[in-house]
Structure 1
Amino acid sequence: MTVEEPGIESGQALCCMYTKLGIGTTQCYSASQINASDDRGDLNIKTADDSGSIRSYLVTRPTYGNVVLMFVAYPVKVNSKTPIGGRMELRQDQRGLQCMGFSTVPVPWDRSWDTKDRYSLKIEWDLSGAPVGTRGVSSFGEGIVRRRCAATDLWRMIFAVGPLNSYPSADEDKSDSFGFYWFGTAPEQIASLPPLCEELFTKMSEFFQDKLSADNPYRIFVRRVTPARGFGGSGGLRSVVLEYDEAIGTIIKDEVFNLLAHEIVHNWPLLLPGPKDKDLDLVAWFNEGIADYYGTILPYRFGLRSESEFITRLNAKLTQYYTNPHIEATNREALEKGWTDTNLLTLPYTRGMLYLSKVDYQIRKATSDSKTVDTLILSILDRTKKQEPHSLVEWKAMIEELLGSEALKELEAMNDGETMRLPIDCFGTDWKLLPVDQRVLDFGFDMSSFQTRIISGLKSGSQAAKAGLRNGDEMVRNAYTWQCQEEYERSMEMTVKRGEELFDVKYWPRSEVMAESWQLRKVEKSPQ
């Protein structure tokens, strides 16, 4: 990596990178693993870790001219017990490699995510020693690409190299505005999606007033994580990672599409976190909730999903929220403990989605349908483009202006875990919300068991215990927890190992406790 004329003084940081990413790992190079030089020769590097998760690389003398950094990144070794993290690590997949810059690339030192400083970035691949058919692709395109961007954008970029397959294929003469990449043979429920995803992204780009083009592209990178586990997505800069494992056969095409629709929305409306002491860091409910909201509504609005598919998807999110055993947890608890419990992790997604649905209803009522929540979101995007502040401070100001001080109280109540109650006509007069009793989700043991792969904290009398599970059983494979969260009748199926014996277990992961849930139904209109 070459940094042109940084002009760094002795003791200053030349670049930095993350030392950890949630429960994921980074390359986190030591000083001896980075060779640095400038126009006057070798540069000695020292490291300094802050109290958070950033390692800075300091120079011991002033730099002169361009600085060249040389480092080697190795793919993370994984197995069936590897925790499911943020999908940013350097992983090997079917003779290829894929990662996000967060885990692998030190960038020029810049701690401010909303900085207005911009760098000229050039990415090129030396594939002279690689096998025939090797391709190198980043979020901004294949081969050599140039962009002017913030230094931290490099962290958010996705990189893939190897025998990549793609849509459009490498020999197709099409615009370089959209790409879908995978190694090996993609499962059918993924392989059939690229044209639909291209259409969805194009329409979303128009809706969010951010036209798709070769200079403003979007790319989807697929990776198989076997022998590790995982199905999910992580958004990068104008790109997303979609990962799958050997259980992909239990997932249908619509479920993959729902995930990608959510991740695609992440390209646009985002609130920046603020100081923790004022709870301005609690933005997950917005950033994930808005992705669930538009990821559900826009495909239907664009005609890419039928009315029945829209109702089914919305009802799945309603079930996921109202039967969540942690429905009363605060957003602070969800933020700090989410990676230990998937029910806490997904709570801000559904809570935020329903909160935004209610705000949309309230705005429409207050303005006689002249404004909607779309009005606020497009205002946030306009501020983002102008590099103006776009945090909870601005969100609060907007809702107070339209809805009064009561809106601030409702926001605070949502943060504190108060259960969301929606008007029965919240989603329009063609449908209405009806109350239904549904059993609370309960897998029957400590949720940390899904990460440790060892059953612990088994609840006596639970469906899991009745099915024959015991503390100490090793999980070999299991159904995805999110499927059980969203599909009320879904069973938890798993294969466990006890001693030398393997056996299958199947049970309904619901407790005896009933929750008041809500489901959307179409209004049957009387004939005239």
Structure 2
Amino acid sequence: MTSGATGIASARHVATRFWQDTRIRPLPYDRNFLYVVTVDDALRKASGGRKSLDDLILAMLHRRQRDKPLGIADWEALLRDNLGEDAVRQLHAMLDGAAPLPTSDAFGPCFERISQPMHRYELGFVPAVLTESPRIVRDLIPDSAAAKAGVQNGDEITLPVGQDQLQGEQDGILTLQLLRDGKPLTISYKPRGETVGPGSGSANRALRKPRTRCLPPPRRNDR
């Protein structure tokens, strides 16, 4: 994930800005996925493979089937009983904005996590502009890709812009249909900013590749 908001946006922040900033929208999905992966990995290791995330989810399901209320306290209790108080602290750290980072072997012994530097998604101006009517560019970031491509404060964006897929494509191009001084124009640019690398939280991109020892041996050619 390369969102500039990853690692600093709390659950409350996500809820209030979900539709205002496209960098915020993937967070509850991506971060929660990474969180449950870390819980599953911890359960499997702590129990010697006898328990997994499924056991906790089933416990919550059974509680619901008995018409009992479900809340965060119930999840905390399951974490505390199975993984200890530290797991509860990790839950709240995630809710406060920390990005969970699964261990290298969280997806099994045949995989390992690698990291690579990436460019942050940067629209180049206030993201909320795209949700407004009319869509008037403001607070243009000097030296941003948008500014270098020719976007100016006061430009009106005449067509809606989809970003959810684009921000996941490092080489994706954003095309804006603009109106300036009553004249239409088209500007395209790559909406990327600074390069960030491992350890920056928001730039960690967990890729996984099979380890050589897990690959099947090559077949012998008997011909």
TM above 0.5, one fold? yes
Map of 2:212 onto structure 1 = 525
Map of 2:136 onto structure 1 = 454
Deviations 1:124-166 (A, max 9, x none): xxxxxxxxxxxxxxxxxxxxxxxxxxxxxxxxxxxxxxxxxxx
Map of 1:499 onto structure 2 = 181
After TM superposition, the score normalised by the length of structure 1 is 0.37
Map of 2:105 onto structure 1 = 425
* Equivalent of 1:361 in 41, 48, 53: 41
Map of 2:4 onto structure 1 = 325
5 Å matches for 1:156-167?
A: none
Q: Aligned with 1:387: secondary structure?
A: coil
- Aligned-pair CA distance for 1:478: 4.8
Q: Aligned with 2:17: secondary structure?
A: helix
Map of 2:68 onto structure 1 = 388
Contact 2:130 2:161 in 1 (8 A): no
Q: Aligned with 1:436: secondary structure?
A: coil
User: How far, CA to CA, are the matches of 1:518 and 1:347 in structure 2?
Assistant: 13
Q: Which amino acid aligns with 1:446?
A: V
Is 1:412 paired with 2:92?
A: yes
Runs of 4+ in 1 over 3 A off after TM superposition: none
- Aligned-pair CA distance for 1:331: 1.7
Is 1:341 paired with 2:28?
A: no
Question: Aligned pairs, how many?
Answer: 207
Residue 506 and residue 478 in structure 1: after superposition, are their counterparts in 2 closer, same or farther (change >3 A)? farther
Q: Which amino acid aligns with 1:431?
A: F
User: How far, CA to CA, are the matches of 1:446 and 1:515 in structure 2?
Assistant: 24
User: How far, CA to CA, are the matches of 1:379 and 1:447 in structure 2?
Assistant: 41
Deviations 1:240-277 (A, max 9, x none): xxxxxxxxxxxxxxxxxxxxxxxxxxxxxxxxxxxxxx
Map of 2:201 onto structure 1 = none
- Aligned-pair CA distance for 1:430: 2.5
User: How far, CA to CA, are the matches of 1:485 and 1:386 in structure 2?
Assistant: 43
- Aligned-pair CA distance for 1:479: 4.3
Map of 1:398 onto structure 2 = 78
User: How far, CA to CA, are the matches of 1:519 and 1:344 in structure 2?
Assistant: 19
Map of 1:470 onto structure 2 = 152
5 Å matches for 1:367-382?
A: 367-382=47-62
Contact 1:431 1:520 in 2 (8 A): no
Q: Aligned with 1:345: secondary structure?
A: coil
Q: Aligned with 2:167: secondary structure?
A: helix
User: How far, CA to CA, are the matches of 1:391 and 1:523 in structure 2?
Assistant: 38
Q: Which amino acid aligns with 1:341?
A: D
Q: Which amino acid aligns with 1:360?
A: D
5 Å matches for 1:10-409?
A: 319=1, 323-327=2-6, 328-409=8-89
Deviations 1:54-100 (A, max 9, x none): xxxxxxxxxxxxxxxxxxxxxxxxxxxxxxxxxxxxxxxxxxxxxxx
Residue 332 and residue 501 in structure 1: after superposition, are their counterparts in 2 closer, same or farther (change >3 A)? same
- Aligned-pair CA distance for 1:392: 0.6
Q: Which of the two has greater strand per residue?
A: 1
Map of 1:40 onto structure 2 = none
- Aligned-pair CA distance for 1:415: 1.7
User: How far, CA to CA, are the matches of 2:32 and 2:206 in structure 1?
Assistant: 17
Q: Which structure has the larger Rg?
A: 1
Deviations 1:333-363 (A, max 9, x none): 2222333223223322211111111111111
Q: Which amino acid aligns with 2:194?
A: E
- Aligned-pair CA distance for 1:524: 4.2
- Aligned-pair CA distance for 1:381: 2.0
Q: Aligned with 2:171: secondary structure?
A: coil
User: How far, CA to CA, are the matches of 2:62 and 2:167 in structure 1?
Assistant: 35
Q: Which amino acid aligns with 2:85?
A: S
* Equivalent of 1:480 in 162, 166, 179: 162
- Aligned-pair CA distance for 1:417: 1.6
